Structure 1
Amino acid sequence: MDHKTFVASLDRAHLARLLSVSDGPGVRHLLGHIAMIIGGGVWIMQGWPMWQAVLVLQGVVISFLFTLEHEATHKTPFKTKLLNEWAGSVSGFLILQPFFWFRYFHLAHHRYTNIPGKDPELVTGYKPETRKDYYWYLTALPYWLGMARQIKRNAEGKRFRDYIPESARSKVVREGRVMLVLYTLCLVSLIFTDLLFWVWMLPTFLGMPFLRLYLLAEHGRCGFVANMFENTRTTYTTRFVRFIAWNMPYHVEHHTIPGVPFHKLPELHGSLKGHHVVTSDGYAAFAAEFHRETKPETKR
């Protein structure tokens, strides 16, 4: 059975319940995520014990706002449209990833998941195949450099990919220009105070490698086929990771029915039992397996 056959077999009332969207769960989850970021920032600025370790944890929690931005592209975390747009835009700003551009990039990824030549994550993304590439990928430097170039291109209105519709390009350009202005203001603020450096910039730089590993597990070493049961991985992990990742470790579930909001993915996971093809028992296990399967650099 492939994912399309599974969806067709679901009871219509059950499917409708899974697809229903509301504000309450998303608002509560967002408040919890924000509280963690504020708490980490206060800890760092107060210089409390082990504040250096909290820098990394703070960065992980901020970097994983990617998963909220990702959900907002589907308009599923909140029923209120404005909440989705603001949550996605702010999250994207904090991790240097323009939200409106990413929406179209990501929807194309869903349309052509893991299909070479069509999935933009494979066309423009960075998928390591050698040990050297793997280590370089985990630094997150390819991400930072790529997003900086993308924002610049968006602001200039140049070289739009086919997945950005003509009707959305002016909005993408405007977003890129606004982001450049805001980043400039943030850099100027460092002349007067180092607050943003310690609670946002440095932590996010330190935390982003953890997000890169998490993202690699979603489709890395999965089949280059159209069946979501084979081209996507669900990773079993801790409640903390599921929380900061907005339940996206249930990734087969998300790709099978993208319209299901994050807080209902555990229920969908229960319905999918017996159909999973690719899973991992935690991100450490995935990382170790991926490392074993990467090619050592050949000596010249």
Structure 2
Amino acid sequence: MEEDVYRNDTIDKQALKALAVRSDAKGLAQATGHLGLLAVTGGLVLLASGPVAFAAAALVHGIVLVFLFAPLHEAIHRTAFASRRLNDAVAAACGFLLLLPAGYFRAFHFEHHRFTQDPLRDPELAGPPISSIAGYLLHVSGASYWRERLGTLLRHAGGRVDEGFVPPRQRPATVREARWHCGLYGALLAGSLWAQSPLLLMLWVLPMVLGQPFLRLFLLAEHSGCPQTADMLRNSRTTETHRALRWLCWNMNRHTAHHAYPALPFHALPAADLLLAPEIAVRGKGYGAVNAEILPALLGGRAGAGARSHRP
């Protein structure tokens, strides 16, 4: 999504334009740091002695792993790097690890940007709403995510792509993408069974399951409880958080600035947030506080709650 989708005459367009400069150097520094942290946490998993130490290391590794959603998201916007090829390569790699094919996710996510918080057209609002504690816990557990991902991936690999946000001309590519994903997953599984190696389970599958609830809580804060309006500075939430999480999520806690001006790269979002601060309507203080705030709205079914039981 190259264009700005929000118009506001009170905002300095030239200042925003100056911020919208993409950088291979900044993108590579961020990506290298994320990969380096993954290597460290993966090493902790391999070195862990005893079940408690292993579980703790796998949880930490899983959190770092599932937050590859941040570079995936940035790269499908093609703002992580100046190079289109680099953006597409990183998106494909991250999407493979997260069971979320990059081309399909780009179509889904751009539709979400076009129709944010529109209950009839935003694909993030297509599932059944969260309306009970059990539904909330199911969502946060990641179980509904895995069910949706595996079901959609297999359906696409079988040749059926019926989502309205995927244009007919793109559907053959979506099928091919799902098939190469499934083929590689199958090859990795077969190789692991042949070698009788638990490495994929230890370093990928189990950590992904353990880390997914933290990503679910993070994503719930983006729009849940925000007004169902087309105004981008009101329908998205910016959440203040500590420096480590800001780094791990590639500044996507500044979600209002991103939604109003999706052409801005991740490293420009803090400056954009300062520029837009007087216009930003919904700002939370910490992800724990935001989830505690939105949960009553979700359970009460109040308009604008905006969460559904599954979303990529």
Match in the other structure for 2:146: 144
Residues 130-169 of structure 1, C-alpha deviations (whole Å, 9 max, x = no match): 2121111111010001011111122122142121112221
- Of 89, 93, 97, the residue aligned with 1:94 is 97
Within 2, Cα distance between the matches of 1:236 and 1:11? 23
Within 1, Cα distance between the matches of 2:72 and 2:231? 25
Within 2, Cα distance between the matches of 1:112 and 1:143? 21
Aligned to 2:23, the other structure's residue is in SS state coil
1:31-70 matched pairs, under 5 angstroms: 31-47=32-48, 50-70=53-73
Aligned to 1:235, the other structure's residue is in SS state strand
Unaligned runs of 5+ in 2: 301-312
Match in the other structure for 2:179: 177
Q: CA deviation at 1:272?
A: 1.0
Residue 125 of structure 2 is aligned to residue 122 of structure 1:
yes
Amino acid at match of 1:233: R
Aligned to 1:295, the other structure's residue is in SS state helix
Q: CA deviation at 1:171?
A: 1.3
Aligned to 1:102, the other structure's residue is in SS state helix
Aligned to 1:82, the other structure's residue is in SS state helix
Within 2, Cα distance between the matches of 1:207 and 1:143? 12
Q: Is the 8 A contact 2:38 2:65 kept in 1?
A: yes
Match in the other structure for 1:29: 30
Alignment RMSD (CA, Å): 1.8
Number of residue pairs matched by the alignment: 293
Q: CA deviation at 1:5?
A: 4.3
Match in the other structure for 2:307: none
Q: What TM-score, normalized to structure 1?
A: 0.93
1:193-208 matched pairs, under 5 angstroms: 193-208=197-212
1:1-300 matched pairs, under 5 angstroms: 4-6=6-8, 8-47=9-48, 50-124=53-127, 127-191=129-193, 192=195, 193-295=197-299
Aligned to 2:234, the other structure's residue is in SS state helix
Unaligned runs of 5+ in 1: none
Aligned to 2:250, the other structure's residue is in SS state coil
Q: Is the 8 A contact 1:190 1:197 kept in 2?
A: no
Within 1, Cα distance between the matches of 2:279 and 2:131? 28
Aligned to 2:233, the other structure's residue is in SS state helix
Amino acid at match of 1:178: W
